[in-house]
Amino acid sequence: MKIQILGSGCPKCKTLASNAEKAIHELGIAAEIEKVTDIKEIMAFGVMQTPALAMDGVVKSSGRLLSPEQIKKLLS
């Protein structure tokens, strides 16, 4: 599974990446986390608000800072 964090690298984007890492660690699943910071790539996802979280190329959340618990629900 590939988890993509879409954002410019702001504090909320960094926190979302950290929360995603914590969620996959707690679930014990194999996943790759990729940080997408290029605005053109972010717009290609149709995202207008960051931070955003995508799983295997599908946007699951945009404009919200998800907690590890919220991310775990998306992963299961």
Residues with catalytic annotation? 10, 13
> What residues contact residue 68 under an 8 Å CB cut-off, 6+ apart?
19, 20, 22, 23, 26
* DSSP label at residue 9: S
What's the gap between Cα 53 and its chain centre? 3
